[in-house]
A and B are shown apart, each in its own frame.
Chain A
Amino acid sequence: MTPLLSVRDLHVGFGRDPAAHEIVRGVSFELAAGETLAIVGESGSGKSVTALSINRLVDFGGGRITRGAVDLRLADGTVIDLANAQEHQLTKIRGGEIGMIFQEPMTSLNPVLTIGAQIEESFRLHRGLTGRQATAAAKDALDRVRIPDAARRLKYSPHQLSGGMLQRVMIATALSCNPRLLIADEPTTALDVTVQAQIMALLAELKRETDMAMIFITHDIGLVAGIADKVMVMQAGEAVEQGALNAVLDTPRHPYTRHLLSAVPHFEAGRAARTDYRRPETPTEGSAAGPALHVEGLTVRFPVTGGLLRRRTGNVHAVDGVDFDLMPGETLAIVGESGSGKSTTARAILGLVQPTRGAFSANTNTPHGRGRPSVQMVFQNPYASLNPRLRVDSILAEPVIAAGGRISPETTARMTMLLERVGLPLDSLQRYPHEFSGGQRQRLCIARALMLNPSVVVLDEAVSALDVSVQAKVLELLVDLQKEFGLAYLFVSHDMAVVERIAHRIAVLYAGQIVEIGDARSVLSAPRHSYTRQLIAAVPSIERRHETFALDLRQVPSLIRPLGFEPEQAEWQSFGADHRARVEG
């Protein structure tokens, strides 16, 4: 039997002379009906371009297939070479034979059209349905991806739904005409882990129901284990290794595959947690050995207004009574999903948002930071957090100037020292941010944060935007710097696997409140709160293969409370010396 899709020696180039600027250089693979191929690689490896070449969307991005064949077997058995197909043939195949879902559900749906209109469109194009029939079909499609209250949601605009919901709408649209091949290009990268687990479960379920083939593109080799039958690893436009799932994961042949597998932070129930720091048994307040950062009852609320006179009708309880201590040389990871209040906590500690209530004090009596602002921050997106018009020396000088200092020879000496320390070439001072890669930029941001010799550094998703191998190196650097300067890290992250590698202690934030806090190893290996358990179970892992998750359709509770609402006093239960969880009602 001929395979559903057969790609042979695919070459794709960009620009005026595509043959000279090839992004994909000779990729071949075959895919049978009902089979899932995972294409794994880091950014720039050509994995997305390969996928976009199959339905020829690559043409619209300035790409051109320069060589090779993409043979698709149609329902009637005829085989068409998509690499040489005409545009009018392709519009029939796109959506009809090949469905596609993309990375960013928030931007991948048309903001001015309703959800219903966008799903109906597929039925009108490929099935010839109109009016009521199309609407009914769209409702069925939403039901199929388990969106509650589908009939009403059809009238919604995309901005009224969450990212996870939108990705379901995308899946519903892509699957509406029962395509025989689904291309999923990093479909869960922009989503929270628990939402990711749900989307993966949904995809696996739908695949079983319909027997469609799937090409699943991801940078996260951990995700592959749950869904793929075959794996292809790509590097610099070439497939460096491909084979059956177990063969690739268990006995990787190519060094790059081994590198990817080792760079993926494995999640091993706390076995990889750091052990290089012991918390003093009874930290004494105020002394030099006291906490670098002490937070007590931190509460941040944003007003909700409504009605004709725009009166305050309630509050968003973004952060509600958070307290913790952070010792010098210690890393406390704050984990939680979007909307849990973790970034607001970090921003409140830096004074970027005004806390409604609560106190926090940063110890300025460390040997390094006497009388200086002692908290600095490293942000998530290294591409957006460096001013593109400033040279590196000005960027590094900025915190000094902001703190009222002058550029003295010592400042310049510190710049050189830090650049060397974060592993950037010394001529970097004369260069602009665009001349650096993402990982290098994040190193710059780290150097900038260290210019004032802070005692606490807040890292807000600081490695989330980086490729796994770069991520591992930046994490190593952070650990080295921590030991050298005795820094305390407040590490805000949604990624449990990264947290495992950097954290000494973990605080789990849910709906603005800490639900569990304690020693990293203890929290990861023996989570006590149901939310922590759910969070950990959702992390994809290489160990669990083709395991299905139960679909959980619970929504995150609303954080909007009426005026004057105060949360109940939390009851805590202790598990061991440094591990406590909130008692669940």
Chain B
Amino acid sequence: MNYLTRRLVTFPLVMLGVSILVFISIRLVPGDAITAMLGTEAGLLTPDQRAALEAYFGIDQGWLVQYGRWLTGAMQGDLGISVTYGKPVLDVILERFPLTLELALLSMAIALLVGLPAGVFAATRNERPSDLIVRVFAMIGQSTPNFVVGLLIIFILSVGFGVLPVMGAFTPFFVDPLQNLGQLILPAITLGFAFAASVTRIARSAMLDVLSEDYVRTARSKGVPALSVIWRHALPNALIPVVTLSGVEFGYLLGGAVIVEQIFALPGLGRMVLDAILQRDYALVQGSVLFIALNFMIVNLIVDLTYVMLDPRIRLGDR
């Protein structure tokens, strides 16, 4: 557990670094929150009114003071008030997060359920026609932008089958699972398409390497049936790169998928962050970037722990 403690100690340090970077970079962008909020009406404010508004949102002081104030708050769980939503930042984020998490989990499930078998299958059919077909699909999947995939899916469903994607206000899973899945399945397929393609390619190449290893030959010499050679002896050895890739992709998805959220009109983290940047909603940008960074670190930790489960040779912290 030595490794875990050390990783947990580095968490706050990384967060601190991230927060400083975000704090500075968002303030380097020209424009200010009051103008962004009020638009042309901002010109009508008297200097006193403007100062009062700035004081209300805590942006009247110098950067250092602002950062210090923000940091003290953040350490007590108070990430500040969002200018655009007029609510605590944490509440705004937590409202959006379930959708993003669910979407990311669904996409990853699709990617692994489709990509892993496809990659393994292609590896066992190396250079034969069926392998080439899988590889062409994977290539298409990786190189098609997801807005094209999303629009195509909507187009095919609506024109070809007369079915429209379920739109309207987002329904949380625990309120109405069917309605919820109906809303999320198409965006999940859209995101999972490219994800599955990457998984296919990496699983195929890892499997090809493993299938030529000595221990696979040993398994065959023991009379292990072909399917068992692949799933029991070879696949566990080929999973490490797949886990690495899935971890990174999943981490990105937890930061929100702006384009897909836009196409399917979903209130996810991605659109929220984009709006916050456009609105100069400093507190919300800062809070959400910090939240996303934390997610990424947790995902990385899970990935590392998965390595240990997969391969007994890997000992964390011995390096």
The interface bits of chain B over 125-140 (1 if a CB of A lies within 8 angstroms of the residue's CB, else 0) are 0000000000000000
Q: Residue A453 at the B interface, CB < 8 A?
A: no
Q: How far does the alpha carbon of A15 sit from the alpha carbon of B192 in the complex, in Å?
A: 38
Within the complex, the shortest CB–CB distance from B235 to chain A, in Å, comes to: 10
A60/B217 in contact, CB under 8 A: yes
Q: Residue B226 at the A interface, CB < 8 A?
A: yes
Partner of B222 from A87, A107, A122 at Cβ < 8 Å? A122
- Given A157-B312, A159-B312, the answer on whether A109 and B218 have CB atoms closer than 8 Å is yes
Within the complex, the shortest CB–CB distance from B131 to chain A, in Å, comes to: 15
The interface bits of chain B over 255-276 (1 if a CB of A lies within 8 angstroms of the residue's CB, else 0) are 0000000000000000000000
What residues of chain B lie closer than 8 Å to A102, measured between beta carbons?
Answer: 214, 217-218, 221
Interface residues of A in 73-100 (CB under 8 A from B): 87, 90-96, 99-100
Interface residues of A in 402-450 (CB under 8 A from B): none
**Inter-chain contact count A-B, CB under 8 Å?**
78
- Residue among B215, B225, B311, B313 with max Cβ neighbours from chain A (10 Å): B215
- Residue among B214, B222, B312 with max Cβ neighbours from chain A (10 Å): B222
Q: How far does the alpha carbon of A107 sit from the alpha carbon of B312 in the complex, in Å?
A: 15
B224/A125 in contact, CB under 8 A: yes
Q: How far does the alpha carbon of A126 sit from the alpha carbon of B226 in the complex, in Å?
A: 15
What residues of chain B lie closer than 8 Å to A361, measured between beta carbons?
Answer: none
- Given A104-B214, A108-B215, the answer on whether A121 and B313 have CB atoms closer than 8 Å is no
Interface residues of A in 527-561 (CB under 8 A from B): none
- Given A107-B213, A108-B217, A111-B215, the answer on whether A91 and B237 have CB atoms closer than 8 Å is no
B311/A121 in contact, CB under 8 A: no
The interface bits of chain A over 120-161 (1 if a CB of B lies within 8 angstroms of the residue's CB, else 0) are 011001100000000000000000000000000000010100
Within the complex, the shortest CB–CB distance from B202 to chain A, in Å, comes to: 18
- Given A157-B313, A308-B2, the answer on whether A110 and B218 have CB atoms closer than 8 Å is yes
Q: How far does the alpha carbon of A95 sit from the alpha carbon of B310 in the complex, in Å?
A: 27
B222/A173 in contact, CB under 8 A: yes
Partner of A121 from B222, B236, B237, B312 at Cβ < 8 Å? B222
What residues of chain B lie closer than 8 Å to A91, measured between beta carbons?
Answer: 223-226
What residues of chain A lie closer than 8 Å to B313, measured between beta carbons?
Answer: 111, 157, 159
Besides the contacts A102-B217, A111-B311, what 10 more A-B pairs have beta carbons closer than 8 Å? A57-B217, A57-B220, A90-B223, A91-B224, A93-B223, A95-B222, A110-B219, A111-B313, A121-B219, A122-B223
8 A/B residue pairs, CB under 8 Å, sorted by A: A91-B224, A91-B226, A99-B221, A111-B313, A112-B312, A114-B312, A157-B312, A308-B2
Q: Which positions in A face B, CB cutoff 8 Å?
A: 55, 57, 60, 87, 90-96, 99-100, 102, 104, 107-114, 121-122, 125-126, 157, 159, 170, 173-174, 308
Please name the 6 residue pairs, one residue from A and one from B, whose CB atoms are nearest each other, closest first.
A95-B223, A94-B223, A95-B222, A100-B221, A157-B312, A107-B214
